[in-house]
Amino acid sequence: MSGRTDSETDAERDADIAEAHDVEDQAEDARRARWTATGTGTLLTLAGLAAALLRCAGSVPALAPAAYALGAAVCALATVLGFRGHTRRALWLLIAGVMVMAVGDQFD
C-alpha cells in the first residue's frame, strides 16, 4: 500500500507544531532584543545629555561636555538602529557611546 499510516501523519503534525513554536520563540526573542536595545539607548542618551548639561554649567574643560554630548549622539543612533531591528549594531554602538562618555569623565 502506498498510503501513509496514522502514526506518520501524527509525527509530521507534531514536527510542524514544534517548528511553529520555534519560529514564535525566535520572533519573541527578536522583539525582546529590539525593545531592550531601544530602551537602553534611550536611557543612555538621556544620561549623556544630562551629564553634558551639568558639565557645561561647571568649570571644566570644554572637551568634557563635548565628549558626553558625542556619546549621547552615538547612543541615540544606537536607539534608532535598535528600533529598526539592527540589534547587534545597536549593541556595539551603545558600547562605543558609553566609552566616549567615559573619556569625557576623564576630563573632569
* Higher pLDDT, residue 103 or 58: 103
pLDDT value at 46 more than 90? yes
Residue 1 within any structural domain of the chain? no
Residue 27 within any structural domain of the chain? yes
Residue 89 identity (one-letter amino acid):
R
The residues, ordered by sequence, that sit 6+ positions from 19 with a Cβ below 8 Å of its Cβ are none
Residue 44 within any structural domain of the chain? yes
pLDDT value at 7 more than 60? no
Domain of 29 in residue numbering reads as 6-106
pLDDT of residue 105: 86
Residue 31 within any structural domain of the chain? yes
Are the CB atoms for 73 and 98 separated by under 8 Å?
no
Structural domain count, the chain: 1
pLDDT of residue 25: 80
Residue 29 within any structural domain of the chain? yes
Residue 83 within any structural domain of the chain? yes
C-alpha cell at 102: 567615559
Are the CB atoms for 100 and 70 separated by under 8 Å?
yes
Residue 18 within any structural domain of the chain? yes
Helix axes 87-106, 63-83, angle to 10 degrees: 170
pTM: 0.75
pLDDT of residue 15: 60
Residue 42 within any structural domain of the chain? yes
